[in-house]
Amino acid sequence: MNPVSPSLPHSLASAALAFLAAAPSVESAEMPLPPIPDAHGFAGAFAGVHLGFLLAGGGANFPDGVMPWNGGRKVWHDKLFAIELGKPGTAWREIGRLPAPNGYGVSLTTSEGLLMIGGGDARENFRTVTRMTFDGENAAFRKLPDLPVPLAQMTGALVGRAVHILGGIETPDATHASSGHWSLDLDQIDKGWKALAPLPADGRILATSAGIDGSFVIAGGCSLAPDDAGKPKRTYLRETWSFSNDQWTRLADMPRAAVAAASPAPVRGGLMFVVSGDDGLQVNLASPADHRGFTKEILAFNLRKNQWTKAGELEGAAPVTLPAVPWRDEFILFSGEVKPGVRTPAVMRFKP
């Protein structure tokens, strides 16, 4: 990672641990991106690249700086930002608004534009699917077929020209997560979403996923169940699954849990990289204010070998609930949450 200000993460440590000499490594990129023009940053934002511009908008934060356990109010946003990539001295611009305040959906970069799938706000989750394009001055939005059900906190990725969506919750206060699985063929959009075989395991939220060698691969996330007070309680998951040839296959478990890692997961050379993620090791703290931050560990999964390895560590604060955006031979990690309730305006570049 490279810095966006002197106090933010600036590099990745070498992954060449002695006992993992054959593991993939990660490199820092040549030029950092400036922080977004928001003092807090956003969790659960949408982001993608179109015609050389990084587009990002939506998400949620606590704009008054008061944390939720102290009565702070979480606010969903519709601000939309753009920055031209690969240009010296480039700067962010606020270019308009999303169709509605929205966060915690799935965003995917396609050749035709940025797909924004589902999401929600404090009151409801959404079925809407929108394609956003940008001509350098103005953003335009085209409505695509709605999801079969409203969903937020699901995972999704492109497998060729097919969008795959899995899991999530239908309402903001849901105490059970979905195991549903749907796809949309971008070359036959008018046919709408197709129901595929559901995951043969517990439903889950905030997993990460990727398209690798024609397979839809998901990892981590957490299942939900009601606690004694009827509130959603999380079970942190280490499972890895792949879907290909119309069937699911259970793969090697992750070395640790990973909830809300950067998604879709960066992929290079057949390897899927899980960057950070909540590992569930700090769920029983006396107060969320005591949280030390999320794991800095980066994991890599080799689908052909069915093997997880450690691929490096972040040197600075590790974000979760953030989109990963492919651009050239690297990935842009937009904003995110670095501690419970605490966002970051950092925009980092990750180069496997």
DSSP sequence for 229-280 = TS-EEEEE---EEEEETTEEEE-PPPSS--BS-SBSPPEETTEEEEE--B-S
The answer to whether position 10 is within a domain reads: no
Tally the C-alpha atoms within 13 A of residue 299's C-alpha that lie toward its C-beta. 26
Cβ(60)–Cβ(120) below 8 Å: no
What number is the average pLDDT over the span 31-42?
A: 89
The answer to whether position 4 is within a domain reads: no
Confidence class of residue 24 from pLDDT cuts 50, 70 and 90?
low
Query: How many percent of the chain have pLDDT more than 70?
Result: 91
**Strand-pair partners of 271:** 268, 302
Q: What is the CA radius of gyration of the chain?
A: 19
Angle (CA) 277-113-167 rounded to 5° is: 40
The answer to whether position 263 is within a domain reads: yes
Query: How many percent of the chain have pLDDT more than 90?
Result: 88
What number is the average pLDDT over the span 305-316?
A: 93
The answer to whether position 296 is within a domain reads: yes
Confidence class of residue 26 from pLDDT cuts 50, 70 and 90?
low
Cβ(86)–Cβ(52) below 8 Å: yes
The answer to whether position 229 is within a domain reads: yes
Return the CATH number at 304. 2.120.10.80
Please write the tens of the pLDDT for every residue from 102-142.
Answer: 999 999 999 999 999 999 999 999 999 999 999 999 999 99
Alpha-carbon distance 233 to 18, whole Å?
Answer: 38
The whole-number pLDDT of residue 30 equals 36
Please write the tens of the pLDDT for every residue from 49-68.
Answer: 999 999 999 999 999 999 99
The whole-number pLDDT of residue 16 equals 28
pLDDT reading at 6 higher than 90: no
Alpha-carbon distance 212 to 268, whole Å?
Answer: 9
Alpha-carbon distance 104 to 124, whole Å?
Answer: 12
Confidence class of residue 195 from pLDDT cuts 50, 70 and 90?
very high
Of 26-35, 84-93, 146-155, which one has max mean pLDDT? Answer: 146-155
What number is the average pLDDT over the span 245-272?
A: 97
Alpha-carbon distance 96 to 94, whole Å?
Answer: 6
pLDDT reading at 222 higher than 90: yes
The whole-number pLDDT of residue 14 equals 32
Question: Residue 19 in 3-state DSSP?
Answer: helix
Close Cβ partners of 283 (under 8 Å, ≥ 6 residues apart): 234, 236
Alpha-carbon distance 208 to 151, whole Å?
Answer: 15
The whole-number pLDDT of residue 224 equals 98
Alpha-carbon distance 163 to 173, whole Å?
Answer: 26
Cβ(165)–Cβ(117) below 8 Å: yes
pLDDT reading at 17 higher than 60: no
Domain count within the chain: 1
The whole-number pLDDT of residue 20 equals 32
Lowest pLDDT segment from 10-19, 37-46, 327-336: 10-19
What number is the average pLDDT over the span 98-105?
A: 98
The answer to whether position 335 is within a domain reads: yes
Q: Which 8-state DSSP code applies to residue 190? A: G
The answer to whether position 164 is within a domain reads: yes
The whole-number pLDDT of residue 352 equals 86
Alpha-carbon distance 25 to 15, whole Å?
Answer: 5
Lowest pLDDT segment from 20-34, 87-101, 143-157: 20-34
What number is the average pLDDT over the span 169-187?
A: 98
Cβ(306)–Cβ(336) below 8 Å: no
Counting every residue written for the chain, the total comes to 352
pLDDT reading at 1 higher than 80: no
The range of the structural domain enclosing residue 310 comes to 18-350
Please write the tens of the pLDDT for every residue from 64-95.
Answer: 999 999 999 999 999 999 999 988 899 999 99
